[in-house]
Amino acid sequence: MALSEWKVPAGSQPRQADYAFDLERALTSVVGLSSIVPDDAFTAETLGTERAGNAVVIDPAGLLLTIGYLVTEAQSIWLAAHDGRVVPGHLLGVDQESGLALVQALGRLGLPALDMGSSSSAKVETRVVLGGAGGRQKSVAARIMARQEFAGYWEYLLDDAIFTGPSHPHWGGTALIGPAGELLGIGSLQLQQERNGGGVENLNMVVPIDLLKPVLHDLRTIGRPNRPARPWLGLFATEVDDQVVVAGLASGGPAEKAGLQTGDIVLAVSGEDVSALAGMFRHVWSLGEAGIGVPLRLQRNGRVIDVTIRSTDRTRLLKGNVLH
């Protein structure tokens, strides 16, 4: 896997003079990652079968951190160092709640590890680097633009996500590197927000590193956090005029089996009114563990109907890790 020829515009690349740590050394901890997922994998339809991004060395023995959607159900993973060396990797585990994933290199990388910092102490306007595989030319000099709740349409919620700008064009699995050269988070998404005075700007949403610390041992040893799984419904939802609207359904998921339809408006969860994604998710998760029945009140074509969805543990639908 060769690094592509694209470069971050020179004016957006980080400069050593702006940072107190060894920038080049820190960026060698970021490697390229590519994965292949079987055609019949549950996530193949939504995430594709060929995925590419970045991963970050967090232990010199070859333990890497990345974003979960790059490696979920992967049958093969390849890691490319800055010097062109390529080694296979093995998926150790994914935390569905945070979206973080651990990969073990199956060959010698011999790269330095980034020390984990404290993302809770990272302040808005802090100067950071969003590091991609390939050094300064594949990295962005950025600032923390905001810290706030983020709700994703795929039943995902972060209480305190980190948003950085300007945006990295190849954001998946990038390393958010703080002022002391410490790892503060892992790049997940690119989003748009309106600028004051008009127009939009692209930002990256970054998963805070503090979410890894409580589950790191479990991911390394058993492949998932040692806690009950949240109930998963298998629906994709969006907010429209203070209403939660079903925008899609996971094929074969609980919501589809219960008869939900695209365009349904979710009015309430177990008798609690909802008007935003975050509120709906929290109401669903408060009912208990995966497998519990989730009563929904829906509005469909002007009619109000009640439906109970038998939730599940999402990981039961995913292909398990295979060590080749």
Delineate the domains of the chain, giving CATH numbers in brackets. 1-227 (2.40.10.120), 235-317 (2.30.42.10)
**Residues 230-248: pLDDT tens digits?**
999 999 999 999 999 999 9
Structure confidence at residue 198 (pLDDT)? 74
Q: How far is 40 from 62, CA to CA, in rounded Å?
A: 30
Q: How far is 160 from 140, CA to CA, in rounded Å?
A: 22
CA angle 250, 224, 162 (to 5 degrees): 75
CA angle 224, 228, 232 (to 5 degrees): 90
**Residues 63-107: pLDDT tens digits?**
999 999 999 999 999 999 999 999 999 999 999 999 999 999 999
**Residues 113-142: pLDDT tens digits?**
999 999 999 999 999 999 999 999 999 999
Asked whether 148 and 105 are in contact (CB, 8 A), the reply is no
- The DSSP bridge pattern shows strands 235-239 and 265-269 to be unpaired
Give the torsion sign (CA, 290, 262, 42, 274). Answer: negative
Q: How far is 117 from 180, CA to CA, in rounded Å?
A: 9
Strand partners, 200: 194
Q: Token pair of 155, please?
A: 């039943």
DSSP string, 223-242: SS-SSPPPPB--EEEEESSS
Amino acid at 22: D
